[in-house]
């Protein structure tokens, strides 16, 4: 790693209520899929670092779970803790909202970030969904007045509109410093972690309605044999009924999940993957702090 004079380096958190597009934005900024996404809120459960190194320096993005208004469930408490602790030491905050929308949850996130003494950039995402762009102007005007934002950038994480200007602004606002991570490193998370997330992504995309929280994935075995990864994953659910849905008639549903997750893994790891999935029932794991921590949901 070469040390460059005048280079910048720092942490930049991505925050916002569930489903505004934080994970899609992180993937877009890094240029590779790091965070799993779905149309269902609350897909992100862990904070993930995404490292972007350019000639000007290094930006370390911190993707956070959406901050929840109802913090009374153990899983929500974990998510809120993760989101808030991710904010403790960052140099800048990207606060993501959805174009033409502003609700109590957005306000709650703004209340949290506005108490910190950290510059906040407001990102108005999903502008591709606004047919008549003139509607954006009064919205931008009104939102700009809600707080002393460092700047306001309308963008589309999905289409990639306005991502470059955003990156430039972020880089320019970071403190001077040498990179913390080697320049070819994209994240702090292990391959095991991503294997579990890619299985969970298939499941949350398919069973958004039937199986809300009650699902997690544990990697039992992750072995490298030459160009092949041999991966065994356990899918934990809370009820027999959920297990039956996931397995499906003659195991067809589970097979489809496995095939798709394997393809995603092969793209992600650039390896051949042999994936085996099992489904197991553990009653009420998501409301049991001990079980949460054994399954990796601890600070």
Ligand X SMILES: Nc1nc2c(ncn2[C@@H]2O[C@H](COP(=O)(O)OP(=O)(O)OP(=O)(O)O)[C@@H](O)[C@H]2O)c(=O)[nH]1
Binding positions for GTP: 16-23, 63-67, 125-128
Asked if residue 212 binds ligand X (CB under 6 A), the reply is no
In angstroms, give the least distance from the CB of 230 to ligand X: 29
Least distance to ligand X from the beta carbon of 24, Å? 3
Binding mask 32-71 for ligand X (x = CB under 6 A): -----xxx-xxxx--------------------xx-----
Alpha-carbon distance 199 to 246, whole Å?
12
Locate the DSSP E strands across 68-213. 92-98, 120-125, 151-154
Site string for ligand X, 111-130 (x = CB under 6 A): --------------xx-xx-
Does residue number 156 form part of the binding site for ligand X (CB under 6 A)?
yes
- The span from the CA of 63 to the CA of 113, in Å, is 15
171 binds ligand X (CB under 6 A): no
Contacts with ligand X, 234-253, as mask; x by CB under 6 A:
--------------------
The smaller minimum CB distance to ligand X, of residues 100 and 281, is found at 100
Q: Which residue number, 9 or 67, has a Cβ lying nearer to ligand X?
A: 67
CA distance 192 to 218: 9
Q: Which residue has the tokens 């905050």?
A: 93
CB of 91 to ligand X, least distance (A): 21
Residue closer to ligand X, measured from CB, 43 or 143? 43
CA torsion through residues 258, 262, 263, 267, sign: positive
* Per-residue buried b or exposed e for 157-181, using 16+ beta carbons within 10 Å of the residue's own CB: bbeebbbeebbeebbebbeeeebeb
Instruction: Examine residue 131 and tell whether it contacts ligand X (CB under 6 A).
Output: no
How far is Cα 234 from Cα 111, in angstroms, rounded to an integer?
Answer: 39
């Amino acid at each position: 790693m070469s040390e460059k004079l005048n280079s910048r380096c720092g942490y930049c958190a991505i925050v916002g209520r569930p489903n505004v597009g934080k994970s899609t934005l992180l993937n877009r900024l890094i240029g590779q899929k790091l965070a799993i996404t779905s149309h269902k809120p609350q897909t992100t459960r862990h904070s993930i670092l995404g490292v972007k190194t350019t000639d000007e320096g290094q930006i370390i993005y911190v993707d956070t779970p959406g901050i929840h208004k109802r913090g009374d469930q153990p899983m929500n408490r974990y998510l809120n803790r993760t989101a808030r602790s991710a904010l403790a030491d960052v140099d800048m905050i990207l606060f993501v909202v959805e174009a033409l929308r502003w609700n109590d949850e957005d306000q709650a996130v703004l209340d949290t970030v506005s108490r910190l003494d950290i510059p906040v950039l407001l990102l108005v995402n999903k502008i591709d969904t606004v047919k008549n762009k003139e509607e954006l102007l009064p919205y931008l005007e009104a939102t700009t007045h809600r707080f002393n934002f460092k700047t306001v950038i309308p963008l589309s994480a999905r289409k990639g509109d306005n991502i470059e200007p955003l990156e430039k602004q972020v880089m320019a606002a970071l403190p001077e410093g040498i990179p913390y991570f080697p320049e070819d490193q994209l994240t702090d998370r292990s391959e095991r972690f991503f294997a579990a997330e890619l299985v969970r992504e298939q499941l949350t995309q398919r069973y958004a309605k039937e199986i809300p929280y009650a699902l997690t994935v544990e990697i039992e075995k992750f072995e490298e044999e030459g160009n092949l990864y041999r991966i065994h994953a356990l899918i934990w659910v809370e009820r027999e009924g959920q297990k039956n849905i996931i397995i499906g008639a003659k195991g067809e549903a589970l097979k489809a999940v496995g095939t798709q997750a394997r393809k995603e893994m092969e793209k992600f790891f650039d390896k051949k993957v042999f994936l085996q999935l099992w489904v197991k029932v553990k009653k009420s794991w998501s409301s049991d702090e001990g079980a949460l921590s054994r399954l990796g949901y601890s600070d």
